[in-house]
Each structure stands twice: as C-alpha cells, then as structure tokens.
Amino acid sequence: MPKPKSFLRVFTESGPLVALAVAIALLVGIAGPASAQFFGFPGFGGPPQRQAPRNNGGGWFGGDFFAPFQHAPQQQQQQQQAPRQDFSRAPPPAKRDTAPERNVLVLGDAMADWLAYGLEDTYSEQPDMGVIRKHKTVSGLIKYQPKGEPSDWAAAARSILATEKPDAIVVILGLNDRVSIREPVVEKDDKKTEKKDDKNTHAKDTKPSDGTAKPDDKPVDTELSPEDAADAPQAATPERSARSANGVYEFRDERWVELYNKKIDELIGVLKSKGVPVLWVGLPAIRGQKGTSDMLFLDALYREGAAKAGITYVDVWDGFVDEAGRFMQKGPDFEGQTRQLRTSDGVFFTKAGARKLAHYVEREVTRLLARSTPVALPTEPATPDANAAPGQPARPLAGPIVPLVASSVGTDQLLGGPGSRPAAVDPLTARTLVKGEPLAPPAGRADDFAWPRREIGREQAKGETPV
C-alpha cells in the first residue's frame, strides 16, 4: 500500500510547480492592464499610460472609475483661458460707387471709429453725403502715440486738415485720457536767477553798516507776537513749490484739469481754423461705477471747452443709460426697438448702438450744414414776363419780399412807443384775416345766397339794392 504524499511534497514536484508558475504569470499579466484602466497605474515594467479625458461622471466602468466622485475643472479652465474678443475696431467702410458732394471728417480714438461706422450706415441711402475716418484706436489728448511724431492730437489734426477738405468736423475721444499727465519742468533759468539773487544779498550783508539806525528801519530779527503773526499776510509762495516735484499730476488733480483744458482749447483752435462747423461729441457711459463717473467728469470738461470756443457740443449720455442714470447694455435703438446696444466688454458698440450714437450727431450735422447753405433769393421784381400778351401789363416772375407786420419805427426807437405808427394795411386783408369776415362769393357758386339771383358774369351795379 503506497504511503500518502504530504502537502509540501505535492507542491515541490515539477508538475504542480509549473502549473503554479503559469497561474502567477497569468495573474500578473491581467492585473497590469486592469490597474492602468481603473486606477491609472502603469503595468509592471511598462510605459506610463495616457489618461483618457474625463467624462464628467461618465459611469463606474470604462471611462473613469472614480469619475462620479471627482470634479472636472478642465472645461472651466478652458473657458477662462479663451482669448478675449477685441471690440475696439469697427467694421471697415464699404466702397461707394459715386464720390459724395459733402464729407464729414471724424477724428478721435476707438469711439470715433464706431461713430464713423454708424454715420456711414446713416448716409448709406444719401449718396451726396460721405464720411472720412481719421482715427487712432489707442490715443488721447494727453498722448497721441507712445513714440514719434505727431505727439498729440493737435499736431495730428494739422496734418490731416492739410490734405482733407471736409464740410463738417466731428471729434470724440478721451477714453484713454484717464491717466496721469506730465508737465515739463524747466528749472535751469530759475536756478541761475536764484544764484544771482543770493550773490547780491550776500554782497549787501557784507557791507559795513553805520552805527546809527534810521527811524524807519525795523530790526530784521524781531519776532512777531502770535496775534500779529496770524494777522500778517502770508508770503506768496512760488507756483512751482505747489506743484509736483517731477511734474506728474494724477487724473482729476487741479493742475491736471488745467493742463487738460489747454489741450482741449488747442485742438479746438486747430479745427476751427478750417472754417467749417466743428462738433465735439461727449463720451457715453461705460460699465462700472468708476468708469461712468470718469466719463461724466471728462464730459463736463468737453462741454465747458466747447461752450467757451463757440462750437457745438453733442450730448449722447441719455441715450445709453437707464432711468436711474446707470449703464445700459440693452435698450431702445434710434427707432425705439429694444436691442443690444453695447458689446460684452461694456465699452464699445454693436451695430445698433453705433447707429444710435450716429443718430445724435447726424441731426446736428444736418442742422449746421443747412444753416451754412446759401439761400436762393427770388428774382428781381422788375423782370418782365416774356410770355405776356401784347397790350397787357407784364407781370413779374416774383414779387418783392415784404414783412407781414411792418412798422415805421426807427432803429433807435422802441416798438409800440409814442410816435410809432403801424404800416398801412390793406382793408380787404384786415377785414378777412383780422376780423374774420368771409369774402363775397362769386355769382352762381353754391354759397352765393344773394337774392334775387345774380346772373353769372354780370357784376351788380353800385348803388343797386335788391328789392
């Protein structure tokens, strides 16, 4: 009878040992891909596995084992890192078949680009009106461009007006002027004069003084009492001491306002030299409480400068704010339809917003150009009618221009005062227009109620009264 094999001897034989080795190899081969699939761990000795994109909770198996428990900020990061769209540039102007008879020149920054775009859409059905865009997107009265010439808008406007022949000039800018302004400080001449004064003072002090003092002389080192010092006038300090040491003034400073007003006046003076109507358009509200406040501050300076120079100021503020005076993204367009007026950045315009902005300017341009148009006067009243029948008096083509209500008062007399008499008035005109009496109807008309009936074409004799 064979002896039973022990447990250790069974596993030490060649057959079971080979089977065990094969089983372990299969287990390791299966565990590697499984761990890489579910847990992201690479297999033993294998290259690192690429992680599949997460499916935002795409199930327990297949996509990501822990997907239901993990957040997916990858999509949010992609949205945040998306490039911002540039709304500062308006669409380019369309080509026109015919050359316009009149042109409106638009100067300024990116706001002027959008205003010109709206004016082009406004005048699209008026072939006699054209728009000339002369803008620089990132510019302002303080600095036209970072380097080079021209350095300011006044110099740039001179070169533009030398080549263009506009019938009206429109300006809108200031969006980039909310920065500090630098004033050139010239101290060389002042230092020389101060040195000369110090030398003269030192020479006077070194002169021998007489022992007797004059009665009008006062001791130099005498100290005043506190009451006298309070009543004494303050010494006038130099203007340079109240200014910034480096000549830089922040936005809204008192000196900043003075320097900025000078730039406004300088630009208006250059534009008025062309001899055509000049319009300064105020800035609209932009998103944000601080931005809206800055636009109001700048508009006040533009309005004051335009009034002082005698040019037209176009106020567009109410068109882009709500009833509470806050920034309005959507609102009524120039036709009253509610539309998107401003772009998503809260600064620039959509097509409807640009058209509404241009609506304010177009009204003023039309009014100013109509005023400057020469009026065609009537012909001379003595001009005879060439088609007049022979033997009959010739009628003039147009009568003289006479006032409806005239008075014989001189230029140095008061209207309605003593000695003034009204001009002679036609009695028929006074009876019909002043008293309201009707005109005598002609014979045979439906409203002729005279009795007995008059014959048509036969005038009633004077003094003849019907029975």
By DSSP bridging, strand 330-332 and strand 312-314 are unpaired
Average pLDDT, the chain: 75
Q: How far is CA 58 from the centre of its chain?
A: 51
Residue 467 forms part of a structural domain:
no
Quote the number of domains for the chain: 2
By DSSP bridging, strand 181-182 and strand 129-135 are unpaired
Question: Does residue 118 contact residue 360 with C-beta atoms inside 8 Å?
Answer: no
168 with 65, same domain: the answer is no
pLDDT of the residue at 459: 54
Residue 291 forms part of a structural domain:
yes
Q: What is the mean pLDDT of residues 344-372?
A: 93
pLDDT of the residue at 74: 60
Whether the per-residue pLDDT at 164 is higher than 80: the answer is yes
64 with 135, same domain: the answer is no
Taking alpha carbons only, the member of 306, 65, 53, 273 closest to residue 174 is 306
pLDDT of the residue at 269: 96
pLDDT by residue (tens digit) across 105-130? 999 999 999 999 999 999 999 999 99
62 with 129, same domain: the answer is no
User: Which residues are registered as beta bridge partners of 349?
Assistant: 342
pLDDT of the residue at 212: 43
Cis peptide before 150 (omega within 30 of 0): yes
Residue 449 forms part of a structural domain:
no
Last residue of a domain, one of 355, 372, 389: 372
Q: What angle do CA 286, 291, 293 make, to 5 degrees?
A: 110
36 with 126, same domain: the answer is no
Residue 337 forms part of a structural domain:
yes
Residue written as tokens 């037209």? 312
Taking alpha carbons only, the member of 347, 354, 357, 344 closest to residue 295 is 347
Residue 36 forms part of a structural domain:
yes
pLDDT by residue (tens digit) across 196-214? 555 555 544 544 444 444 4
Whether the per-residue pLDDT at 47 is higher than 70: the answer is no
Whether the per-residue pLDDT at 241 is higher than 80: the answer is no
157 with 35, same domain: the answer is no
34 with 174, same domain: the answer is no
Q: What is the mean pLDDT of residues 397-417?
A: 61
33 with 149, same domain: the answer is no
- Pairwise pLDDT comparison (386 vs 112), residue with the higher score: 112
- Domain containing 33 equals 28-41+58-70
Taking alpha carbons only, the member of 176, 89, 163, 155 closest to residue 132 is 163
Q: What is the mean pLDDT of residues 241-251?
A: 74
Whether the per-residue pLDDT at 382 is higher than 60: the answer is no
List the structure tokens of 281. Answer: 């358009």
251 with 117, same domain: the answer is yes
Q: CA-to-CA distance for 58 and 306, rounded, in angstroms?
A: 65
Taking alpha carbons only, the member of 354, 349, 401 closest to residue 375 is 401
Q: Which residues contact 41 (CB under 8 A, 6 or more apart)?
A: 35
Band (42; pLDDT cuts 50, 70, 90):
low
Q: Which residues contact 100 (CB under 8 A, 6 or more apart)?
A: 123, 127, 128, 129, 130
Whether the per-residue pLDDT at 319 is higher than 70: the answer is yes
Residue 220 forms part of a structural domain:
no
Whether the per-residue pLDDT at 149 is higher than 70: the answer is yes
155 with 279, same domain: the answer is yes
Range picked from 42-46, 187-191, 209-213, 410-414 for highest mean pLDDT: 410-414
Residue 438 forms part of a structural domain:
no
Residue 331 forms part of a structural domain:
yes
List the structure tokens of 310. Answer: 């005698």
Last residue of a domain, one of 356, 372, 388: 372
- Pairwise pLDDT comparison (276 vs 194), residue with the higher score: 276
Residue written as tokens 């990132």? 138
252 with 324, same domain: the answer is yes
- Pairwise pLDDT comparison (329 vs 192), residue with the higher score: 329
pLDDT of the residue at 360: 96
pLDDT of the residue at 449: 83
Question: Does residue 171 contact residue 263 with C-beta atoms inside 8 Å?
Answer: no
pLDDT of the residue at 439: 82
268 with 126, same domain: the answer is yes
Band (400; pLDDT cuts 50, 70, 90):
low
- Pairwise pLDDT comparison (276 vs 149), residue with the higher score: 276
Domain of 178: which CATH number?
3.40.50.1110
Last residue of a domain, one of 316, 343, 372: 372
Q: What is the mean pLDDT of residues 418-432?
A: 68
35 with 149, same domain: the answer is no
